[in-house]
């Protein structure tokens, strides 16, 4: 697996991920990568200074910033790790049909910043955590617990049996600002095209919607996730 970009690589090295080696642009100013090189030496990770062409061959999109890490595949958490009860009510994201790795990466970044307990991804009908998702997350993928489930609908049934309230983010839902989001909560975020699937929505305890006042009646999935999650955070801070 390839992780690229200075921030993403630094967080991967710092967090103890299985980084096999770090490749740095040979002609880059030393001060640009001083901290990263020092960190790699502390972690006993091999650092190689290479020509730009070598980085270009490994980079999926050329946005490597002169820094690439070669790692093992992304290590998913167990569902029980995501659902581990702490001193605050649970806040979990379930992704239903997110196919764009850029959206997934942005959602992971939002989840980390907002202190979400974790993310559940279905093995099918959803983008896995790819190199691009890791890059877009800017290192957040190293800190957010992400687990795969065989079937999202079964996962929702399980959450409800555990006493976790499940809400689907849907245009036909109740105004989010009039909905109590303070208890143990799982929020289902639908895909870029179809939104939350019909059966999945019916299995949820309810639906929530963001009020919209413009001519375009939909928001990008990661943008909507950010607004929804931070409304939950806001309400919890008032309790």
- Is residue 48 domain-shared with residue 128, that is, in the same domain? no
Mean pLDDT across the chain, nearest whole number?
A: 91
Q: Which domain holds residue 63?
A: 2-71
Domain stops at, among 25, 45, 71: 71
- Is residue 89 domain-shared with residue 37, that is, in the same domain? no
Q: What percent of the chain has pLDDT over 70?
A: 98
- Is residue 10 domain-shared with residue 112, that is, in the same domain? no
210-235: per-residue pLDDT in tens?
A: 988 887 767 889 999 999 999 999 99
Q: What's the pLDDT band for 239 if we cut at 50, 70, 90?
A: low
The pLDDT assigned to 16 comes to 67
74-125: per-residue pLDDT in tens?
A: 889 999 999 998 889 999 999 998 989 999 999 999 999 999 999 999 988 7
3-class SS letters over the chain: CEEECHHHHHHHHHCCCCEEEEEEECCCCHHHHHHHHHHHHHCCCEEEEECHHHHHHHCCCCCCCCEEEEECCCCCECHHHHCCCCCCCCEEEEEECCCCHHHHHHHHHHHHHHCCCEEEEECCCCCCCCHHHHHHCCCHHHCCCEEEECCHHHHHHHHHHCCCEEEEEEEEEEEHHHCCCCCCEEEEEEECCCECCHHHHHHCCEEEECCCCCCCCCCCHHHHHHHHHHHHHHHHHHC
Between 27 and 181, residue with greater pLDDT: 181
- Is residue 94 domain-shared with residue 22, that is, in the same domain? no
- Is residue 154 domain-shared with residue 117, that is, in the same domain? yes
Residue 182 confidence (pLDDT) above 90: yes
Comparing CA positions, the residue from 105, 237, 108, 119 lying closest to residue 188 is 119
- Is residue 39 domain-shared with residue 88, that is, in the same domain? no
pLDDT mean over 142-164: 95
- Is residue 143 domain-shared with residue 206, that is, in the same domain? yes
Domain count, the chain: 2
> Can you give the CATH number for the domain in which 25 is found?
3.30.1330.30
Question: By mean pLDDT, which of 41-45, 79-83, 152-156 is the weakest?
Answer: 41-45
- Is residue 126 domain-shared with residue 179, that is, in the same domain? yes
219 phi/psi in degrees, rounded to 5? -115, 155
Q: What's the pLDDT band for 55 if we cut at 50, 70, 90?
A: very high
- Is residue 15 domain-shared with residue 130, that is, in the same domain? no
- Is residue 20 domain-shared with residue 107, that is, in the same domain? no
Q: What percent of the chain has pLDDT over 90?
A: 65
- Is residue 157 domain-shared with residue 128, that is, in the same domain? yes
- Is residue 142 domain-shared with residue 226, that is, in the same domain? yes
């Amino acid at each position: 697996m390839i992780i690229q970009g200075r921030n993403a690589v630094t967080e991967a090295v710092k967090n103890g991920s299985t980084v096999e080696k770090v490749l740095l642009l040979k002609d880059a100013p030393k001060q640009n990568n001083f901290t990263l090189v020092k960190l790699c030496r502390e972690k006993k990770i091999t650092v190689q200074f290479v020509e730009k062409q070598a980085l270009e061959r490994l980079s999926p999109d050329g946005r490597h910033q002169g820094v690439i890490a070669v790692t093992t595949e992304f290590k998913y958490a167990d569902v029980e790790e995501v659902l581990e009860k702490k001193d605050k009510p649970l806040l979990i994201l379930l992704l239903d049909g997110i196919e764009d790795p850029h959206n997934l990466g942005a959602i992971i970044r939002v989840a980390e910043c907002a202190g979400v307990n974790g993310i559940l991804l279905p093995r099918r009908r959803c983008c896995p955590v790819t190199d691009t998702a890791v890059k877009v997350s800017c290192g957040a993928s190293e800190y957010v617990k992400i687990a795969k489930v065989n079937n999202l609908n079964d996962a929702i049934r399980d959450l409800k049996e555990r006493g976790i309230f499940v809400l689907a983010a849907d245009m036909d839902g109740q105004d989010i600002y009039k909905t109590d989001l303070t208890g143990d909560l799982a929020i289902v975020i639908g895909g870029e095209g179809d939104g939350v699937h019909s059966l999945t929505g019916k299995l949820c305890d309810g639906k929530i919607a963001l009020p919209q006042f413009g001519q375009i009646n939909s928001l990008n999935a990661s943008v909507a996730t950010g607004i929804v999650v931070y409304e939950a955070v806001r309400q919890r801070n008032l309790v």
